[in-house]
Structure 1
């Protein structure tokens, strides 16, 4: 299978128990220089992909916890449009807005708090992924993630099957799965 991963990293695929025949990574971060022959990478924005990538002929678009980082409704629409244009099959996962623990900060109810409070938590909470270096970066981090609801995922992926990943009986993540239409 030929897979394009929007926002993923090669290290995640290195650990995967199954590897695609061909992998194309697109991420804002610079790719590693030493990729194996079955993988290639481009630095790019998944909401504004160049024509060369859009013509790639992929079998599957994969994206794990990226759509909540792209920056607002219009950019999420562009992201979803690109996913659907790249291949008939897709697997797009996003953390669920109403799960009680926000997964990026690991703080209960973080996503429901005012931005100023979120900035304070990010500045002092010991479980943040990367501690911000100053107030401005803490504020940016507080505003950067916009978790999605089931309704929003259904809007962005109207022809996809929507599935749920659960933890303790609660929806933890939403997954949009696209498959080719039967003949």
Structure 2
């Protein structure tokens, strides 16, 4: 498969910023559930851990105030607003909150497909502690480990292989977000930076939360730890 074709196929399947893609449609379905549980989202003060403005520009509803916490600066965020309220980007680590957010409280702590990238069990515990520090209500989504297709590579069963095998597949597999990787060390780095979690693990990190299952073709595709809102 050519590089151009593989990129087109990957975008059609998983790119959340391509409105017609399967990934965008699944994210739209999650938005429906989020808004059902938090119908006053447009009046809320929200912090998005690991989020970026591209996703919120495609959201059906904009919050009154939005704070984006990410480890990288976001040049496309201006302080003027998002069409409904104010937007602010903060550079920092969600597992060790920057001073700028210490003591802050939000109506909703939100995160989408970040927990699996924070880097190991202890860091996931720290991430969960940050969520609780920032607010009582939260919506923390992460892909489900036992869905048959690994969502970042779009490769069936990849998550169950040893690290070296996953890295070797990365160098050859034409689909997904890492299809351009050409060096083994880089492939290993991406493999180690992606750890999908199970229901048991997510319940361990968020023991007081409901675990909502997003399903696709009857199978659990992703998990959301939810606290607060309408049950």
* Secondary structure at 1:46 match in 2: coil
Which has more strand, going by share of residues? 1
Please show how residues 17-28 of structure 1 align to structure 2 within 5 Å: 17-28=60-71
Q: By how many angstroms is 1:136 displaced? A: 0.9
Tell me, in whole angstroms, the C-alpha distance in 1 between the residues paired with 2:146 and 2:102.
33
* Among candidates 24, 36, 57, match of residue 14 of structure 1: 57
8 Å CA contact retained: 1:104, 1:128: yes
8 Å CA contact retained: 1:122, 1:128: no
8 Å CA contact retained: 1:69, 1:145: yes
Aligned to 1:160: 209
Please show how residues 94-113 of structure 1 align to structure 2 within 5 Å: 94-113=142-161
Tell me, in whole angstroms, the C-alpha distance in 1 between the residues paired with 2:176 and 2:76.
28
* Secondary structure at 1:79 match in 2: helix
Aligned residue-pair number: 180
8 Å CA contact retained: 2:47, 2:109: yes
Tell me, in whole angstroms, the C-alpha distance in 2 between the residues paired with 1:70 and 1:155.
16
8 Å CA contact retained: 2:53, 2:77: no
- Greater mean alpha carbon deviation, residues 16-25 or residues 43-52: 43-52
Which has more helix, going by share of residues? 2
| Runs of 5+ consecutive residues of structure 1 not aligned to the other structure | none
Please show how residues 74-113 of structure 1 align to structure 2 within 5 Å: 74-113=122-161
* Among candidates 164, 172, 175, match of residue 221 of structure 2: 172
Runs of 4+ in structure 1 off by over 4 angstroms are none
Task: Spell out, residue by residue over 1:1-39, the C-alpha distance to the aligned partner (whole angstroms, 9 max, x if none).
Answer: 100000011010011110000000011121125423310
Output the aligned Cα RMSD: 1.2
Q: By how many angstroms is 1:56 displaced? A: 1.9
